[in-house]
A and B are shown apart, each in its own frame.
Chain A
């Protein structure tokens, strides 16, 4: 569950990222986050995984107040949140297996265990057969699927995605979106930032719309309706 209470984020240069944003996303809900460029979508997502701290307001993620988590505990929060970005953020010199199995390696898994969990995650994105390839040998859609597998490898409670289809053509976008639906149906809360209006309209469901850093709509809706895997 994600809760924002009157959250404002002002950057040191005076720029306002978010202003007085309040909303609640229950467990296992699928929510779109929309808005024009600079509306505050990325800021909101960064606040969830504590890439940023709010200037004002409180944020609860899975019942934990992010402001009260000491910096050294932030990694443990992040292990419960999967993140996917528009630009994939894969490491070119690492194989698909290595890219996907960062967290298992951090946790001290043996090479065999790492391969096993990576295969499981890659199986979920239908890319198991490319496990030993380098990212440069994959198409854009495949690279994004690897990024999703990396986010899923820890079986996160929350999956957040910042314009994950921004670099993909419409067919690939639908394919990637289908993967997010599958993940959500398995019980993971999904928050997907996009400005692809067609995708949002096609999918239906709850939409948080930001404009100029303020929540223009969707904030008071709890539970949503129509979206896949909605609410618990």
Chain B
């Protein structure tokens, strides 16, 4: 029997076994699906958070609010400071009118209020784009303090704290997802191992006959490995389908969150989707390998094993 024939035989037998014992197989498929759905959900969330972080990082700004009566000399001193800082890439001055226009643009409901006030309540500022790779650590913090202490500067605000918090959240979410997914995956692998072991037990007479007529271990074990693999692939596919359905549902009901522009708007990338299904298959295969350790198939030559011929 060549390899292609063997694989076709393994798959045929595995499908037959799954159909015969479909109730038990379903438990294994669902357990794999739940673990991958959980893990996939965390991947989806942390992927979106990472994307948002990238976007925010790309737009990382340093805003220096100026005092109302700032003098041209003070402005020049400030600009000299910015020019001397390697982390600062570009900067522009936003006067109080432009700031008010921006606010009205971002929050149209506040526009009438701003018009009613007459005078402009927003301070002028200097907005700088910074390179985050060079704007971390104590030195940067010190530089910011010095900047804030300059005459004519009212306050300094950078996105660093916010981004750092979000990075922390993304890290925790990713770790928690990995941990939870790992625990659930281990449980799913053990479930598949038990299901395959049960199938082996139900086929013990056939295994004994196969061994008696001269079947190799590869031929005997192949269908059981294929069964684990199929269960895992089915579980992975089910998880992917479930994730897609949940994301679609979230998109429809929470467009602000899961819509195309929302913070959870991006679904798994095609390669991540394929990886989810492949991971299911691998988990199934590992479960089958665990269940078919030498002793369980009665390969011992002592004659004591109930599955031994």
Contact = CB atoms under 8 A, between A and B. Distances in A.
Given A79-B213, A107-B1, 5 more contacts: A51-B308, A52-B303, A78-B213, A106-B214, A154-B214
Interface of B: 1-2, 5, 9, 205-206, 208-217, 219, 299, 301-304, 308-309
Interface string A36-79: 00000000001001111100000000000000000110011111
B301 A105 contact: no
B204 to A, nearest CB: 11
Contacts, number: 65
Given A12-B304, A51-B308, A52-B303, A108 B2 contact: yes
A72 B216 contact: yes
9 cross-chain pairs, A with B, having the tightest CB-CB distances, nearest first: A108-B1, A79-B214, A78-B214, A75-B214, A103-B213, A102-B213, A75-B216, A106-B215, A53-B301
B214 A76 contact: yes
A49 B210 CA distance: 13
A91 interface: yes
A51 B303 CA distance: 7
Interface string A79-109: 1000100000101001000000011011110
A211 to B, nearest CB: 21
B9 A91 contact: no
A79 B9 CA distance: 20
A76 B302 CA distance: 20
B6 to A, nearest CB: 8
Given A78-B212, A78-B213, A78-B214, A106 B303 contact: no
A72 B217 contact: yes
Contacts of B205: 89, 91
Contacts of B213: 78-79, 102-103, 106, 150, 154
A50 B212 CA distance: 10
A98 to B, nearest CB: 10
